[in-house]
Structure 1
């Protein structure tokens, strides 16, 4: 359970937030950055995390950016998922994230909170993996910009005291053909069995996955097999499954065998639809 004496801070600039983190760390107060706070509350009630202080980044204007900048579109880390859905600038992101929890929860869940979360699904990161996004991070050495593939490996590889400010994608990705499918074993809400997102660029399909392994991922080895049009679809899918990272999940949401069964059918459905799109 979360302690009743947690200290709360709301800095108005990136530098203030980072400085406050290291002040609190020096005082052994176990600081955590906070935007929507849904995961902090959930994990705190389960006694998985025990923050002594939280640093709310929602007052930092850069984390609320939702705008065009030169050849990119910017998504601030503190934007609620429902805001992104309503604006629908990036339909692939909208479709991938709109079934994360229910609408009331998504009013609080932020894009940064989801993609940086401890709960392994992190579906909202899939479109950014597919689109070779750029990530802006704040830390002790100031603000840094990274290609997402350089800083995301199963999860974001942040150094101590760093936090996500923004995610940027090139505008060309906003209107590409796409499909995203979320499969559940039962019910219409709650945790999914698997989520698969796909875009088509230069006549090649890209795929990213959540819920299949204990981390979201995009694999070029998997994509190479799925794009091998010299082979029948079933054979392409079989070869792609041989390239999956391990382990494939085997939990209360579904067994490994059931997940792979659902994945085969989902990939076949997606390939058929996407190869017809221009």
Structure 2
């Protein structure tokens, strides 16, 4: 998953005003969130009061995929905190949202040696993003949020979700940027327990098909520009499954592309 590391390097070079602080988990009052400029207009989703966090025994709220610059090995670990402001991975607390700062689209947060790119302020129950811990350190891709309680998942009907995505193309097309932000569209068939949809960014389309198991998504993804089928994991977030988020992560060193997505009910 070196694609994430390369993308973060390019991101840091293009960062203009994101300021450093005391490091992950410290006082970040002097730091700012900087919008990421791209050519994609993201759909607007309705935002309401965040739902009550899921307190069930199985309290997995999201996942983090970790890679290092000198290895193709990927480690995926669960997150277990419905915290939209920070995530804690490998003992490091990373801020993913600034208090008192609202950015409706993708934004860059620089905190000491840590640069985080996160989406988006308009989603009140979930966040996706990626970050690294500096030169020659691991890179991370994540999704997390306030998971929909199992008894609050719809049991019938087809619901459309629209939102945002970020795609990390692999080596199949070297003319593409290291990272491309775009849109996401899904149809969730709660009666048949299936989810289908696509991520679209520039000339890249990622097709997603997954099974719905209570508040969890699991399936596969294929890319229009990269070979291989990779795994998809995700969850529903907020009251009545009003949002969803997840990521597509390669399982072998032969697959060097990936993606993350987030969307709101229409």
Query: Could you say whether these structures have the same fold, taking a TM-score greater than 0.5 normalized by the shorter chain as the test?
Result: no
For the pair shown, which has the larger CA radius of gyration, 1 or 2? 1
Where on the TM-score scale, by shorter chain, does this alignment land: which range? under 0.3
The structure whose residues are more often strand, as a share, is 2
Normalised by the length of structure 2, the TM-score is: 0.27
